[in-house]
Structure 1
Amino acid sequence: MARRWTEAEVSDQSGRVAVVTGGNTGLGFATARVLAARGATVVLACRSPERAAAAAERIRAESPGAAVETLLLDLASQESVRRAAAELRAAHPRLDLLVNNAGGLWPRRETTVDGFERTLATNHLGPFAFTGLVLDRLLPVPGSRVVTVSSIGHRFGSGGFNFDDPHFTRGWVYSARDRAAYFQSKLANLLFTYELQRRFAAAGAHTIAVAAHPGNARTEFGRELDPASRAVMSRWLRPLTWWLLQDPRVGALATLRAAVDPDARGGDFFGPPGRTQFTGHPAKIESSPQSYDVTAQRRLWELSEGSTGVTIDVRELLTNQ
């Protein structure tokens, strides 16, 4: 029987700079606290400055001397993404690790200031643009990684990514219960990871792209929902799945393994093993057949570049180093 992968496997991270989006709570916080405890300089990139500052203090209290910084980042706003990327690049000439962790689920369709459906904007388009805008800080660094956190929910969407109507404008029944927009965004996380890794490999980059999913973890996920929707989840879903939920520290192990496992390879996907993949210590697993669709990966890349205005040319970035 294979040995369980735990926090003890995370080696000394001294000298490394790690950015964790959504690092103030839940899985992001659980990831950040371990990296900081092992000596990394951790940047908590969050949309709430107050919550980010409080999270940084919690990490420092647990690990005195930990180097923790905060960065204002609202992934639903392309202006905020650009501003945060510029601030990060100015502060750090090199980055070792980018963890695209932040995400959300909304009870009804909302449009961002950029005209995007909020779930796709926050869970994919924002991370896509942010990655592209800071990638030049990762590419020169040996062993650097881009880790994107997906979900077991990527398996549950019907028919793959909806390129005909990615922003759910054509009379869809949009609710927290059907979660179609959320499932699509989590599939997008994997399509993005695999296409990014292919481009890294083609350009001969040392940076790798890896993905992870936490299984079912007890976090603040769903806090964006209205009180009525949260009540429904608490009353009907939580009692049914409580025994299939795990502590955020265990859920975050998949992200940590993707971030630091020396045996990880570009395009690997880590999460709880087994038939359901709801709980458990992380292992290398396979994602859904839709996520390996090369045509869909390339179409999403083109859609993302066109939507955000951020072009990610790995070869050119390497040439300009």
Structure 2
Amino acid sequence: MKESYHICFTSHQEVLFRDEEDHGMMLNLMALRAYSSDTEILVEAEMSTHVHQNVFSGRPMEYAAALRMSYTKYFNQKYGRTGRFGEKYTYLLKVEGFNHQMVLESYILRNGLHHQAAATALGYKYCTARELFVEDIGLSSEKAAPLSRADIASRLPRHAEFPDEFQMSADGVFLRRSFMEIRRAEQFYGSPRNYLYQMNRLSDEDWTRSQEADHTGNPITLDMLEPGYEGSIDQLLRNENGRAFSRTRLQDMDVCRLIDKDILPGYGVTSVYQLTGSQKQRIARELYYEYHLPEAQIKRCLVLG
């Protein structure tokens, strides 16, 4: 029987996504592994150091393990990397109760806001937030490219199996609405108006009290969904007001792009994983003094952990 789970895997020592292609491949592999394991994905958020998903599945760990393995294979091959990618364990939380489910979805969809990657939940590109109630809210939906099955297959790992209803963008990425259970995710909000309210409200005791009405276990809180996070959970919650976000602040992928496109050619290498330790230290000093970046950000983008 399929049940609801929160799945999260992390990589705090090195970023999971160095460019747009990496984000696209993660989505494609989610679609393929969900299809092969009969798993339904309701919502997801791809952050620089971790990935959140809410799925309905009878084999959640099988799905998560296959996804991590296939993405690691892709990433290692692309960047000349070896070994396991990310922290060893995958976090799994079973979720029961209508209100628990709605709160879980909301925390996932607002994760870009929590981590200062966007000023609003709907402003974060790498999650499902902009896919719910698209027409009612007035958002534009990405168009499917007129690709044949052969065209789609050519952009995926060899021998990938996928159904005809999976649609792909011109950039070679499966459209979320074609492989995720968007309508089911919407049901837990009931209306576009309530969805927008939940995306913009601040976390408070009302969420806790609403979950207590489910009589299905402890209320879900943000600290339960952020395994291994070394910063302040209280600060993540304070970020919900959107004031901590700055368009001028370089995000991890901006820093990775700077390293990979502008700096690495000067060292005669194509991947950060080909740099020596002394070269990384030299680049780290340059990034710190020229861009005034946080030490932790420099370390994870240069893989200096």
TM range (shorter): under 0.3
Give the TM-score, by structure 2 length. Answer: 0.27
| Relative contact order higher in (CA < 8 Å, ≥ 6 apart) | 2
Give the TM-score, by structure 1 length. Answer: 0.26
- Give 1 or 2 for the bigger CA radius of gyration: 2
